[in-house]
Structure 1
Amino acid sequence: MKKQLGACVLVAASTAVSAQSSVTLYGRVDGGIEYLNHIANGTGGSSSRWSAEGGDWGTSMLGFKGSEDLGGGTSALFDLETALQIMNGTTGGGRLFSRRAYVGLKNETWGQLQAGRNLFIDSDGVWEFDPFVQQAVSSASLVRGRNWQQTSNNVEYHSPVWHGFDVQGQYAFGNQPGAWNSGAPGEFGRSDGIMLSYHSSRFDMRGIYDELRDQNGRLSNIFTASREYFVGGNLRVEKFKIQAAYTHYAAPDSPVGVADSADHYWLGATYQATQRWAMTAAGFYIHVGAGGGDAAHDPSSHAMLYALGTTYNLSARTFLYGTVAYVNNSKNGTFSVFATPRDSSSPTSPMAGESQTGAYIGMMHVF
């Protein structure tokens, strides 16, 4: 899945790299074809589309990571990772390293401490309990991408594993003078979270509490700037992996009259039919609490998303995939099968109360 950089790449740095240091180039490339119907067209009707898409199963990315043994069980480390859109050759959000850019120290006894940009703590923690591992159709769909964000200015700690348990904490500074909770234009404000996990050969459990604040430092939107309470579990039984989770979102700083809470549930299973072929099925449900909505806020509503997917491994590094999904919205619901923000510049949501079907097929190569 990963390979060392060729000697020709390391020649320039050879004087600074010892036998106890390593640098690794890694990444993945994902591309395919996508179908989506009942997309609201802004004129009171809806349309369908076929499109070439990258990253439906998982974000294409390119990264460099390295470590240096400092002795005594301690090592220095770094990770630089950016998202890629292979259909047009751009990088994520116009950043050189959009997903990860951090440096830190790791010790076998006291854990890992790092600083820099990283996936927000729930993005780093929810995917492992999502039957669709945060694909384009996944646990992110009915929360409009709330659980796959990244934050800057992080200080983060990962504990060692103790009898199957470990703890992770993350704190993202706003970095603004005179406004402790605020963030720079276009960035999140001060955000933080803590995650407790347990892993064993038969089952896993995880609990997360986090706060993701808007630029003004407020918890103003259940799906973009809110508190999150998450609990999830995995159970492995022979060829089956069963996954379930519950999340509560609260946004107490939402405008008066706007819905400020939501509850999200899911249940799914993956059947590993053969060493190469697997099938996954799941249901996701969202219930938005009482209150109205506007261009950026969802009103009181509910929706059910059904998804069925499959993967087939051509090799240890390359696989084919296919996913089909259907969402059934309540009268006021406009949830898409994809994780599109309500005020997105490239909307995929249907009209209020309308159902939607989406599907995609593609290939991913990991290196």
Structure 2
Amino acid sequence: MKNQLGAIVLLAASTAASAQSSVTLYGRVDGGVEYLNHIANGNGGTSSRWSAEGGDWGTSMLGFKGTEDLGGGTTALFDLETALQIMNGTSGGGKLFSRRAYVGLKNDTWGQLQAGRNLFIDSDGVWEFDPFVQQAVSSASLVRGRNWQQTSNNVEYHSPVWHGLDVQGQYAFGNQTSGFNNGADGDFGRSDGIMLTYHSPLFDVRGIYDELRDSSGRFSNIFTASREYFAGGNLRLDKWKIQAAYTHYSAPDSPMGVADSADHYWLGATYQATPKWAVTAAGFYIHVGEGSGDASHDPGSHAMLYALGTTYNLSKRTFLYGTVAYVDNSKNGNFSVFATPRDSSSPTSPNVGESQTGAYVGMMHVF
């Protein structure tokens, strides 16, 4: 994979040199230091850790995108993008292009149609209404990363903007002969969604409905394979940006007796104190419906996450950041301040009923 990626970088660089208006190499690099306490150790106790981490504010990535003017207001386009982990130099989680790999056509009148791998529609849509823009501590925390996934085999449509209003639809095929809704082992099944957005200078509103299936084509877990109903809004007042949202998750194919629904709320605000310095505060609340749990399913419970963060711009492309967060779990909950799946191989959750504090500082450079 390293040799393949290196060859693509060289090819993109040479292409950009001959046609700079059509091909762009882009990305961002994020690294820093992280602290987390009350991590369950599996023996009934807890531990704390300090660690060097990449991607706490946002995923480090490398991408190549390009366009070709076909005339008549129509453009051909592509985007190839992979995640990076700068602390150990790995990329993509086993995929050469883990985040985006698609090709499409865009027309000024009828919109954009594309096919390939991309961020799942809620990941592409929730971050804009999240005060912490889906950092390691964010709206993804109390839903165990349900809203920052990627899906393969997508066909996707983006409408033009009509007086501030636009529509986006996404359909991800399972590509399996074993069943129309099924997906490959370890991947999602057939999944889909639609997003409606209105933007104005004063406020934005967005609604999303999506279906994320497991590899067996079922809605079997509220935080990994479920239906989602999302409504969010942004309000801009002078130096303030106020953001709020509500999400309902439903997983009707969950095992009998297991909690199969959850409601997620948040409210936050960002104060742009100076052109370089901003401060953000938010509260996130999750309520999991009645039912038991197991290694991969959360039981009926609730939790409240409080977060405070800041950024300071050193330039237009480089900034420093810092975030601190605290989660208060109910007696049956064990949510982490970080978006870690319940059955993760690298868990960060506390013991059931325990609180947790986390913090990180770092630097982001965009190119």
Q: Normalised by the shorter chain, which TM-score bucket? A: over 0.9
Kept in 1: contact 2:62–2:84 (CA 8 A)? yes
- 1:31-50 → structure 2 map (5 Å cutoff): 31-50=31-50
Give TM-score scaled by structure 2 length.
Answer: 0.96
| 2:259 corresponds to | 259
Amino acid of the structure 2 residue aligned with 1:299: P
1:9 pairs, out of 10, 13, 16, with 13
Q: Partner of 1:363 in structure 2?
A: 363
- 2:148 is matched with 148
Query: Scaled by the length of structure 1, what TM-score is found?
Result: 0.96
* Matched residue, 2:230: 230
- The alignment yields a C-alpha RMSD, in angstroms, of 1.5
What CA distance in whole angstroms lies between the structure 2 residues aligned with 1:47 and 1:6? 45
1:127 shift after superposition:
0.0
SS in 2 for 1:148: coil
Question: Which residue number in structure 2 is paired with residue 100 of structure 1?
Answer: 100
d(CA) in 1 for partners of 2:15 and 2:345? 45
Q: Describe how 1:1-367 pairs up with structure 2 within 5 A.
A: 9-10=13-14, 14=18, 22-367=22-367
Q: 1:171 to 1:11 in 2, by over 3 A?
A: closer
Give the letter aligned to residue 97 of structure 1.
Answer: F
Please give the per-residue CA displacement for 1:120-149, whole angstroms capped at 9, x wherever unaligned.
000000000000000000000000000000
Letter of the structure 2 residue corresponding to residue 164 of structure 1:
G
Residues 170-225 of structure 1: per-residue CA shift (max 9 Å, x gap): 00000001400000111100000000000000000000000000000000000000
Cα offset, 1:92, TM superposition: 2.3
Identical positions, percent: 86
Closer, same or farther: CA 11–79 of 1 in aligned 2, 3 Å: closer
Q: Distance in 1 between matches of 2:65 and 2:24?
A: 5
- After superposition, the Cα gap between the structure-2 partners of 1:218 and 1:346, relative to the gap in structure 1 and judged at 3 Å, is same
Count of residues in Structure 1 that have an aligned counterpart in Structure 2: 359
Cα 1:218/1:10, change in 2 over 3 Å = same
How far off its partner does 1:12 sit? 9.7
Which amino acid in the other structure matches residue 117 of structure 2? R
Give CA deviations for 1:297-335 in whole Å, capped at 9, x if unaligned: 000000000000000000000000000000000000000
Letter in 2 for 1:62: L
Q: Structure 1 residue 6: deviation in Å? A: 9.8
CA distance in 2, matches of 1:186, 1:308: 35
Counterparts of 1:298 and 1:68, CA distance in 2: 48
Shift of 1:11: 5.7
The change in CA–CA distance for 1:216 and 1:13 in structure 2 (over 3 A counts) is: farther
Counterparts in 2 of 1:11 and 1:321: CA distance versus 1, 3 Å: closer
The verdict on how the C-alpha distance between 1:205 and 1:258 changes in structure 2, with shifts beyond 3 A counting, is same
Inter-partner Cα distance in structure 1 for 2:185 and 2:92: 17
Instruction: Report the CA distance shift for 1:12/1:138 in structure 2 as closer, same or farther (over 3 A).
Output: closer
Deviation at 1:80, TM superposition (A): 0.1
Q: Aligned with 2:198: secondary structure?
A: strand
2:6 aligns with: none
Instruction: Tell me the alpha carbon deviations over residues 67-107 of structure 1, each in whole angstroms, 9 at most, x when there is no partner.
Output: 00000000000000000000000012111000000000000
Paired residue for 2:4? none
The one-letter code sitting in structure 2 at the alignment partner of 1:56 is D
- 3-state DSSP of counterpart to 1:161: coil
Shift of 1:57: 0.1
- Shift of residue 8, structure 1, vs aligned partner: 9.2
Residue 10 of structure 1 aligns with an amino acid whose one-letter code is S
Runs of 4+ in 1 over 6 A off after TM superposition: 5-8
Distance in 2 between residues matched to 1:189 and 1:274, nearest whole Å? 46
Uncovered stretches (5+) of structure 1, i.e. residues with no partner = none
